[in-house]
Amino acid sequence: MCPSPSRALLTNAHSGIPAGAACYDSGVKPTSLNRPAALLALVFAATAAAQPSPRAPNENGRIPILEYHLITDKDSRWGRSADHFRRDLKLLYDRGYRPVTVAEMIDRRFDIPAGTSPVVFTFDDASPGQFSYIERNGQVEIDPNSAVGIWIDFNKQHPDWSKRATFCLLPGASAGHAFFGDKGISGQKSEWRLKKVRFLAEQGFELCDHTLWHANLGKYSDAVVQEQIARGVLAIDSAVPGYKVRTFALPLGIWPKNRALATRGVWHDPKSGRDVHYAFDAILEVSGPAAPSPYSPQFKPFSLPRIQMVDAELEKELDRLDAPGQRFVAGGTSKKGADRKEK
């Protein structure tokens, strides 16, 4: 027999089961055999109701481009602790984001499940904490507490979190900012540098130019600007011959006086006698909100804003993107970079 309506409401409110869900006349009297099955069915029904519904496609929404610098043991203005970085990956995954590179974004190539949203990770300055090796029993291994080590471990646990991020490299800066560490800084050997860069390219990560040693391009002549940028491209080519560098990150977010030289230029290498050309498809700024969709008329590939990973800025930005119509949601039509008409 079903309880009175008031008693049923009270019972269901305390059980977490929708009112009326536990009381219906099936024509079958409860027994010790069918009661567990009925309860199990109710649990499944309640669980299904609690699952978030798939997001409707919205390929005109915004895409967050995240900007990381140091990955270290504690948070700071320019640093993210390893534990906080792990939490960032988990937060984004749970909220339905999947990684793509800058190059994939500008190509409109979103190889992520329908109903999920792209997020772009960028790592500036090539510091040891982003990608470090450790020696164990005579073997060289990826440090599990470096950004790359954390990423690979997360990928093993979540295969749909692919190895896609953009590393904006410095080959000749000081304090270990030279292809992720040299001269024993933070335990990193100089002979490991090119091996790390090759590994990133082989795994599907994008290699991005960030100049030779993080020069403030606004201070220098056109000749020095082109040398700084071209030597960054040349260093990447020395690690991965023939690699096409498509993205450039402005050091300090400062443009050269001749802005066109940030996009393309040439430098004559006196040692080899060759001309080193560069021509980028995207330029990263140093700060800003989530970027417009590459399908949007507001999309500017040569001025892509990035969100600096400071304090709780990630959570705040994700909350902003959850407002109606703000968040890019993949629908499958652009998976292979196919063009489509604007909505």
The pLDDT confidence band at residue 21, using thresholds 50, 70 and 90, is very low
- Tokens at 68, concatenated: 């990381």
- At 43, is the secondary structure helix, strand, or coil? helix
Helix axis angle, 313-321 relative to 82-94, nearest 10°?
Answer: 10
- pTM for the complete prediction? 0.83
Q: What is the mean pLDDT of residues 104-115?
A: 97
Q: Which residue has the tokens 């900012």?
A: 177
The pLDDT confidence band at residue 337, using thresholds 50, 70 and 90, is low
Angle at 130 between CA 126 and CA 136, to 5 degrees: 120
Predicted pLDDT at 334 = 55
Higher pLDDT, 327 or 36: 327
Q: Tell me how crowded residue 94 is: count the other CB atoms within 10 A of its CB.
A: 8
Half-sphere exposure of 129 (CA within 13 A, CB side): 19
